[in-house]
Structure 1
Amino acid sequence: MLRASGCLFGLAFGDALGAVTEFLTVDEIRRRFPPNGPQEPLGNPALVTDDTQMTLSVGQALVAALSSNLTVASLEPALRHAFVEWLRSPQNNRAPGMTCLRACENLEAGIPWQQATRPNSKGCGANMRVAPVGLLALDETTRAAVAQFQAALTHGHPTALAASDLTAAAIADLVKGGDALGLPSRLYTYAASQRLVYHGDWLGSLWKRPYTNTPEEFISRGWDECLAVLDRLNAALVNPNRDADPCLATGEGWIAEEALATGLLCFLLFPNEPQAALRRAALTAGDSDSIACLTGAFAGAYLGMAAWPEDWVIRIEYRDHLAVLGKLWD
């Protein structure tokens, strides 16, 4: 089914659809793209945002680190190099988030990553780029640690770590053939099991903050926020409403746990209609490109590359880079 390729291309397609609707209200989107928002990626090439660019950076770093043993010692310099390369790219002109910019500037200056990160940020930049971690054939503990670590280089808030871990877990679940209907329950069980798990061999002293006594106390705050947003997701799925803005149920997606939940909601409203899921995700009042890129990643991981029209594939920006990583991990 080419699920890895489906995931990566789906992420880019969602990013391209949402790129033209981010920062707009639903009514403004309908006026600009009547009657129901953009129906396909626009342009040739169809341009993406920093969401896809940074996903490719994480993928590039993982490929480099996997050439030896995947450890902090191999992944940290690979991520640092890839993030700085992204920072200085002339194509880094797609309204990137200030958290990523400031943290990557610190990384470029050679500051240790624990000091380079933005410790209080849980923006969706932490997990809109984590999909490649979910595509790797890793054991659950290593996958969790790597997902959190890639987030931690820029977003040091415990919820950024937990939401990135949970996003990668969702993608890994779908790639392995997990059914869509049961996904929220499986994610909830996983999140509950991780509440007191701090990956100290990867995260080191990141947990040390004022008024925080233990690493378990630190990370549990992040998982509790993820569990709370999963409760909101489950409530929305009791009586699913395809016509209402998903942001009303699970949040506008500017922060990591809401981007995850709203991306999941858009996917689960249309589990077997991937293009409809992306159109719904782009027709949202919040961080539409990040919501839609996660929606596309979930849909592509679930349905494979066959989910996407060939016309979209040949027009999407960075298609060669996406194809190389997809082929490597399919």
Structure 2
Amino acid sequence: MAEHFKIVFEGLLRPGVELETARLNLAQLFKTDTTGVDRLFTGKPVTIKRGLTNDDAQRYLAALNDAGVEGRIEPELPVTLSLAEVVDDVAPGSAFDPAASPYAPPRAPVGQDFPAVGELKVFSVQGRIGRLRYLAWSLALVAVGLLVAALCVGILSVSLVAGGLLGTVALVAFVVVSIQIGAQRLHDAGWSAWLLLLNLVPVVGSFFPLLMMAVPGNTGPNRYGPPPPSNTPRVKILAVLWLVVLALVFVAAMMGGIETVQEQVEATTSEYEEALPYDDDATDPEQLTVPVDPADAIDNGDSPGGTDDQ
């Protein structure tokens, strides 16, 4: 008779995996809510699946490992089991309720599936957004910021107090929204939002925004929630436009930097030439004298004594 195996789970996490991440992954794996998953982390052995071949048991164990938890394979006798016995390894009187087990298919709740994607919230530090949505939202934020800045300039021409107050409020709102969408971008990669403080560090702050745009997000749920929704065509178009704008700004900055360097080189060269020493007396035409050969003076009738030859 063929040998059969079972999968046993005792609530152990894989190294480096947090409990919240494991809960979300298991809830998605077994299509249930996190309340049912919490019943598995009692520290007592729970039989998740019985009557498996060795290959099937290995696949089940690999799925658990991918979810961030540790299980084990144990051999069992090839007996026919009732679904009510799926967790008979749990000690009597434990907190685990077999009737609420998310792993007995006929009894698992079907109306409380874990959401496949998260909910989008622009004005929140909770949730996750991908790279393209981050670029699209950044473009929209900058566009609104420019419009509000133009409005503030117009009001300043009429009232300094009103324009200054509106400009201050607009600046604070711009910073707050930037932090919110930046936090969601970092959450998508599984990073803490506190890393936004790196933007204030010299040198590092010049490269960290580029890293935020480039680092990929987690494919599955992480401790900050489920993955974000897929990108719509509008999001993709706005993301491409923002990349084009950033490329043009970069090229313009490079051209301006090159022109500035050329101007500085020309100014330095001119100052150097002006600072070179010149002998003004030697270059004055009135001070120049031509030496006269005495033989030429005699041929011309001029005697050394100052008298003419008769």
Q: Same fold (TM over 0.5)?
A: no
TM-score normalised by length of structure 2? 0.22
Q: Which has the higher contact order (CA 8 A, sep 6+)?
A: 1
Structure with the larger helix share: 1
TM-score normalised by length of structure 1? 0.21
